[in-house]
Amino acid sequence: MSDNITLSLSQVRELSESVLFSNGFNAEHASAISDIIYTNQLGDCHSHGLYRLFMCVESIRSGRASGTATPTISDAGPAVVRADANDGISLLAMKAAMPLLIEKAKQNGVAALAINRCFHFSALWPEVEMLSAAGLAGMAMLPSHAWVAPAGGKRGLLGTNPFAFSWPRHGKAPFTFDFATSQFARGEIELYRRAGNPLPEGVAIDSEGNPTTDAKAAMNGAMLTFGGHKGSALSLMIELMAGPLIDDLTSKESMAAAGGKPEAPYHGEIILAFDPNMLSGGRVAENNDRAERLFADVIEQGARLPSQRRQAAQVFNLERNELEIPRALYEDLLKLKKG
Indicate the SS3 state at residue 264: coil
Binding-residue pattern over the window 180 to 199 for a second copy, x denoting contact by CB under 8 A: -x------------------
Indicate the burial class of 277 (C-beta count within 10 angstroms; 0-12, 13-18, 19 or more).
middle
How far are the Cα atoms of 86, 160, 337 from residue 81, in angstroms, in the given order? 15, 25, 35
Q: Which of 13, 29, 82, 310 contacts a second copy by CB under 8 A?
A: 82
Q: Where are any strands of DSSP class E within 151-229?
A: 162-167, 175-180, 204-205, 211-212, 222-224
| CB 257, min distance to a second copy, A | 13
Contacting residues for 320 by C-beta, under 8 A, at least 6 apart: none
- Cβ–Cβ under 8 Å, residues 100 and 257: no
| CB 228, min distance to a second copy, A | 7
Binding residues among 83-112 for a second copy as defined by CB under 8 A: 107-112
Among candidates 282, 267, 61, 16, which has minimal Cα distance to 145? 267
Of 14, 28, 103, 188, which residue is the catalytic one? 188
Handedness of CA 76, 144, 64, 66 (dihedral sign): positive
Vertex 309: Cα angle to 187 and 324 (nearest 5): 70
Give catalytic status of residue 122 as yes or no: no
Give catalytic status of residue 90 as yes or no: no
Residue 1 parent element (H or E): none
Contacting residues for 18 by C-beta, under 8 A, at least 6 apart: 337
Indicate the SS3 state at residue 7: strand
Nearer to a second copy, 7 or 136 (CB): 136
Nearer to a second copy, 70 or 280 (CB): 280
Binding-residue pattern over the window 265 to 284 for a second copy, x denoting contact by CB under 8 A: -------x-xxx-xxxx-x-
Binding-residue pattern over the window 143 to 182 for a second copy, x denoting contact by CB under 8 A: ------xxxxxxx-x-----x-x-x-------x-x-x-x-
Q: Which of 43, 49, 221, 243 contacts a second copy by CB under 8 A?
A: 243
Indicate the burial class of 40 (C-beta count within 10 angstroms; 0-12, 13-18, 19 or more).
buried
| CB 85, min distance to a second copy, A | 15
| CB 169, min distance to a second copy, A | 11
Give catalytic status of residue 319 as yes or no: no
Nearer to a second copy, 119 or 165 (CB): 165
- Interface region with a second copy, contact rule CB under 8 A, candidates 37-45, 60-68, 73-81, 191-199: 73-81
| CB 23, min distance to a second copy, A | 32
**d(Cα 5, Cα 50) in Å, to the nearest integer?**
13
Nearer to a second copy, 261 or 290 (CB): 290
- Interface region with a second copy, contact rule CB under 8 A, candidates 44-52, 89-97, 191-199, 244-252: 244-252
| CB 229, min distance to a second copy, A | 7
Q: Is 138 in the site for a second copy (CB under 8 A)?
A: no
| CB 119, min distance to a second copy, A | 20
Q: Is 135 in the site for a second copy (CB under 8 A)?
A: no
Of 8, 47, 208, 229, which residue is the catalytic one? 47
Binding residues among 291-320 for a second copy as defined by CB under 8 A: 291, 293-294, 297-298, 301-306
Vertex 71: Cα angle to 12 and 96 (nearest 5): 60
**Catalytic machinery residues:** 47-48, 188
